[in-house]
Amino acid sequence: MADDPQRNFRSAYYEKVGFRGVEEKKSLEILLKDNPLDLEKLSTFSQRFPLPSMYRIHVWKVLLGILPPHNDSHSLVGGYRKEQYQDILEALEVMRYINPSTPSTHVYLRMSQLETLVLPRCSETSAPVRWIAHRETCPYMGLIRFVVSPVALQPKSLEHYLSQEEPRLLTHLKTSGTLAQLPYGLWFRRCFAGCLPESSLQRVWDKVISGSCKILVFVALEILLSYKIMLMGISRPEGAVRFLCNIPQENTDAIVTKAIDLWHKYCLQS
């Protein structure tokens, strides 16, 4: 997807008249007609542009390997996946790991553990850490069972980019003891599920599912930058962490947009 001056001019015109993303939607429709689908091109598209909502789940399934690249096999494989889901669900019920009142996030965790042969004994199980915080349950958790890696390196990356963008804020977070206690689990292990509303979360997961987990670092970075003034006025780590775990929901689309711009700046222009 090399830069095309004519395409860029048309895109700018469409955005001016209120039809942002028209050309991108057409480009994706062309990619989805390929048989077999080109996974590399789909990944590249997902990294460079937001996925239209009408195609998002389908593209995610293909990129995650839930559906194969061959379009003519999607219906058949989709049926097999439903049977596989039901078999695993019934097995967990028979083994008494789950019941009708078990939260869906716990069900998906046990299903993943069974599939990957790491299901603990019933006597060793405890209430698993919820992927979703106190807000509404994310409807995609049954679809998304990927591992974000390497999680351990992401706090260091966040510190590095924060030193480039706002060194004074980094110094404050360090001296107040907040840096070590930032909600890294919520941000990097849960991929912001329970932190961002669904509309914003989808745009972040477009990048994660297409293979760019580093977008999570830039979302965290932009959250810190967006609330810099407030964070600079908080001297105790617990106060800062409490706020960051419950950021205002009305500004998240702008935060994600700026985070994607930063991600492009540092990771896609080299």
Overall fold of domain 73-125+139-145: Helicase, Ruva Protein; domain 3 (1.10.8)
Mean pLDDT of the chain: 85
Question: Which residues are within 8 A (CB) of 175 and not within 5 positions of it... i.e. 6 or more apart?
Answer: none
**Residue 224: closest CA among 182, 254, 266:** 182
What CATH number was assigned to the domain covering residues 155-268? 1.10.472.80
Q: Supply the pLDDT for residue 16.
A: 47
Q: Is the pLDDT of residue 126 over 50?
A: yes
More confident residue, 124 or 114: 114
* Arithmetic mean of pLDDT, 184-190: 91
- Using a pLDDT cut of 90, give the percent of the chain over it: 67
Can you identify the CATH homologous superfamily of domain 15-69? Answer: Ypt/Rab-GAP domain of gyp1p, domain 1 (1.10.10.750)
32 within 8 A of 11, measured Cβ to Cβ: no
Give, to the nearest 10 degrees, the angle between helix 198-209 and helix 53-63: 40
Could you read off the pLDDT of 21-61 as tens digits, one per residue? 668 899 999 999 999 999 999 999 999 998 999 999 999 99
Question: 3-state DSSP helix/strand/coil percent for the chain, to nearest 5?
Answer: 65, 0, 35
Structural domain boundaries in the chain = 15-69, 73-125+139-145, 155-268
Could you read off the pLDDT of 103-113 as tens digits, one per residue? 988 898 899 89
